[in-house]
Structure 1
Amino acid sequence: MTIPIHVSHQRAFIWDVDRTLPHLSQQNVFLGLPLVLMPEEVVLLVDKQLAVLVDDLSAHRTPTAAQIEAWDQVWKKDIAQQVARLEREASVGKEDRSMSEAAVEKRKAREEKRRLAIIQKQQAEGESADSVFAPPPAPPPESSAGQPASSNIAYSVAVPTTSEEHAWYNQEGSTYATLEAARSAGIWSYPATEEEVAKCAVFRDLWEQGYYMGGGSKFGGEWLVYPGDPLRYHSHFVATVLASPTAPLRPMEIVAHGRLGTATKKAHLLCGYDPATKKVAYFSVEWAGFG
């Protein structure tokens, strides 16, 4: 099964409408806003036939009045079912609270009966009732079980939002299995330059070696390179891709990469791609010889 990658304005997203709503209690990379993919990721996934590109603009159709009315009826029916379920759950919870309140009242009655028995025993033995600290029994508190329930009950209702249920969203005719087809349709143009081709080639080579890549702009490079799942490992490298094998590189850039890599406890990779041989070369830069 291929992954649909939704493309809008030359940007690629992976999203599920059921995972992108604000009613979810937890918002993170798995349960949050649509995930924006790096263009190199998109190129790799499509080339590996693991994903297809979907033109979101053309996939959305204008719904007819009959389709809107049918969806509205389904929506109202679903809400009514959820409200009925919540009311049943609320009534069960109310019964449980009533049983708890009845148990508390029984315990208070037993304690009061035991206290009165002690007082009567002391009086029977000749002790003065005035010498015994026996305050009159307090009237039992009124049980809240008999109070009318508030009519203002808040319900959390989930609205049916699965995109497959929408007749006005149809991916047929808007899905492209290759980059060439998507480029011809005008929805995707990456890679378009020599530098972008080099980035895609380096990204693919690192991925095929088992590395994981994440954004590296905060560390002065293209990507952070992880030896495994980024949720379990720290990145070992910061990768910078040279536009071509003959692209100039100033000495101060090498110094800056080395200093930044040392400060962040990473080695800096200078990555080059040769389109003639289709090979990728790497140079690692780090400070050494201290102390």
Structure 2
Amino acid sequence: MSTEASDPRIHLRVANKKAYVWDVEDIATIRSKHRLCGVFTGTLPHLSQQNLFLGVPMVLLPEEVVLLVENGFAVLIDDPKAHIQPSVAELQRWNSKEKELAQFQLSQLTTALGTSPAVMSEEAIKKRKERELKRQAAAAKAAEAQGALAEADSSIFTPSENAAPPPATETQYTVVIPASSTSFEWYNDSTCLHSSIQSAKEAGIWEYPSNLHERAKCGVFRGLWEQGMYMGGGIKFGGDYLVYPGDPLRYHAHFSATVLESPTFSLTPMEIVAHGRLGTVTKKSHLLCGWDDGKKEVSYLSIEWAGFG
């Protein structure tokens, strides 16, 4: 049995050292209330072959996970350990409930349409054939029109006012079928819940941050977040993060940020020139963020081209 009902904190399911968010309400809370975006990695129904528009689950950056857990907004769940091996009786009981639910949905569909599934299937086939014939007729007319246009002396073609309008598309009706969302009895996350990063590290399910560079990234990420910024991955723009003044769905990034392990971290002149030129070309200022691991503070230095032309 899940403990989400009694625990208001967001549950981050950890598998293979990555934190996933499966609940859409938690995803909305993370973005609107905590100003963290994450990355969607799941496929959408009927669009499983594309990779442009993705859905749940959402994967969080390690820095986002650390910030949520340290601020008490979320807890880490050892997802593989939360799954309990069900007994044969439990599987049989679950299977019978699923069959009852399927029968109930079928009866609701039959009642809503006022016909049997077999008759509906025949009607659907008949309508599909009619639509196919209409499409073939429309395609034949279009081919004839193109041929007449090619043979005409004038390059301007004005359709006749008496031309028949294109066939109207059939409006598809919608039938709402109630379906309950059930939770498995053999999933129990109360015994594998971790409220701190240290506890998750000791359990072996999480290891970030593990060195100075990762601590610097967490510190810089928190520093920018506390100033009201939104962050996203910045690898495409030569930095560690893209820094937005508001939600990335509404604003362009103002900065690309690079994390330095120390405020006195050395950079070559070529690196400084590269950051400046790349930031100018992409209409952004480049932030050099120096992390002081002793004082737990961040210093910022922006680079941009100016005074040309």
Using the size of structure 2 for normalisation, the TM-score is 0.68
Change (3 A) 1:78 1:25: farther
1:238 equivalenced with 2:256 (yes/no): yes
Q: Secondary structure at the match of 2:300?
A: strand
Partner of 2:31: none
Match 2:234 to one of 203, 216, 221: 216
Distance 2:252 2:272 in 1: 23
**Residue 82 of structure 1 aligns with which residue?**
105
Q: Which of 170, 176, 201 is equivalent to 1:183?
A: 201
Shift of 1:90: 1.6
Distance 1:55-1:29 versus aligned 2 partners, 3 A rule: farther
Q: Given the two structures, how large is their TM-score scaled by the length of structure 1? A: 0.72
Tell me, yes or no, if structure 1 residue 36 matches structure 2 residue 54: no
Report the equivalent of 2:17.
10
Cα separation, partners in 2 of 1:31 and 1:38, compared to 1, 3 Å: same
Report what 1:73 is aligned to. 96
Larger Rg: 1
Q: CA deviation at 1:248?
A: 2.3
Deviation at 1:244, TM superposition (A): 2.2
Q: Which consecutive residues of structure 1, in runs of 5 or more, have no partner in the other structure?
A: 95-154
The Cα of 1:33 is off from its aligned counterpart by: 3.1
User: What is the CA-CA distance between 1:288 and the residue it aligns to?
Assistant: 0.8
Show the counterpart of 2:190: 172
Matched, 1:61 2:87: no
Higher deviation after alignment, 275-284 or 176-185: 275-284
Letter in 1 for 2:96: Q
What is the one-letter code of the residue matched to 2:103? A
Quick check: 1:269–1:282 contact (8 Å CA) kept in 2?
Answer: yes
Counterpart Cα distance in 2 of 1:23 and 1:38: 25
Residue pairs, 1:265-280, within 5 angstroms: 265-280=283-298
* 2:278 aligned to which of 235, 249, 260: 260
SS in 1 for 2:257: strand
CA distance in 1, matches of 2:60, 2:21: 7
Residues 260-287 of structure 1, C-alpha deviation per residue, up to 9 Å, x if partnerless?
Answer: 1111111100001112222110000111
How well do the aligned residues superpose, as a CA RMSD in angstroms? 3.2
The separation in 1 between residues aligned to 2:186 and 2:24, in whole angstroms, is 15
Give the corresponding residue for 1:106. none
1:159 shift after superposition: 7.5
Are the counterparts in 2 of residues 79 and 158 from structure 1 also a CA contact under 8 Å? no
Taking a change above 3 Å as real, the CA distance of residues 25 and 90 of structure 1, as seen in their structure-2 partners, is: farther
CA contact (8 A) 2:74 2:195 kept: yes
**How far apart are 1:24 and its partner, in Å?**
7.3
SS at match of 2:301: strand
Is the CA contact (8 Å cut-off) linking 2:262 and 2:290 kept in structure 1? yes
In the TM superposition, residue 57 of structure 1 has moved relative to its aligned partner by 1.1
Give distance in 1, aligned partners of 2:106 and 2:304.
62
* Structure 2 unmatched runs, 5+: 1-7, 28-41, 120-174
* CA distance in structure 2 between the partners assigned to 1:24 and 1:170 by the alignment: 32
Aligned length: 231
3-state secondary structure, aligned to 1:213? strand
Q: CA deviation at 1:16?
A: 3.2
Verify the 8 A CA contact 1:237 1:266 in the aligned structure 2: yes
Check the 8 A contact 1:239/1:268 in 2, yes or no: yes
Q: 2:69 aligns to what?
A: 46
C-alpha spacing 1:3/1:190, structure 2 compared with 1 (3 Å): same
CA–CA distance in 1 between the matches of 2:66 and 2:52? 21
Contact 2:43 2:51 in 1 (8 A): no
- How far apart in 2 are the matches of 1:276 and 1:222? 22
How far residue 87 of structure 1 moved from its aligned partner, in angstroms, is 1.2
Q: Is the 8 A contact 2:109 2:177 kept in 1?
A: no
Letter in 2 for 1:63: P
Residues 44-88 of structure 1 show CA distances to partners (whole Å, capped at 9, x for unaligned) of: 000000000001110111111111111111111111111111112
